[in-house]
Amino acid sequence: MNKVLIINGPNLNLLGRREPGIYGSQTMETCLEQLRQLYEIEYFQSNHEGAIIDKLHEVGFDRTYAGIVLNAGAYTHTSIAIADAISAIELPVVEVHISNVHSREPFRRDSKISPVCRGVIAGFGLDSYRLGVEALIHS
C-alpha cells in the first residue's frame, strides 16, 4: 500500500512563480516527477474549498491508499468544513506546509485542520511533501 494522494489547495498551482523567496522556485510538476520515481502518487489541486472536500470524500474511504497528504494553503487557517471532511473520512491525513508557518504572520500559526490530522510537517520547502508521503507509508 504505497499509494498516496497529494492534495494542494488554493494558489499552490502557482508554485515556482509564486513568492519564490517563501515557496522556492521549484514547480510542483518537478516535485511530483521525483516522488513518482519512488512512490505511487495521485495528485489533485484546486483553488476551491468545495472541490477539495469532494476529493477528500471521493478517496477518503479507499483503502488502496496509505493516506492523503494535504496542503490546504490558506484554507488551513479558516476551514472548519475541510476539518469536518477530514474527520468524516477513514484514511489518515498528514497536513503539510512548504513554509514554516510558525515563523510567519501570527494568523498562520492557527490551523483548523491540525487537530484532526495524523500529523503536521512544515518548513522543509517542497521536501515537506516527500516527508508527508513517507510518514504515511512508514507509519
Closest contact distance (angstroms) between CB of 8 and ligand DQA is 9
Closest contact distance (angstroms) between CB of 61 and ligand DQA is 25
CA distances from 65 to 39, 59, 78, 118, 134 (A): 11, 8, 27, 15, 13
Q: Catalytic: which of 65, 75, 97, 129?
A: 97
The residue with cell 513517507 is 134
- Closer residue to ligand DQA, CB minimum distance, 5 or 63: 5
- Closer residue to ligand DQA, CB minimum distance, 63 or 122: 122
Binding site for ligand DQA (CB under 6 A): 11, 71, 73-74, 76, 97-99, 101, 108
138 is catalytic: no
77 is catalytic: no
CA distances from 71 to 4, 49, 110 (A): 13, 12, 14
Asked whether 119 and 94 are in contact (CB, 8 A), the reply is: yes
Which residues are designated catalytic?
23, 97
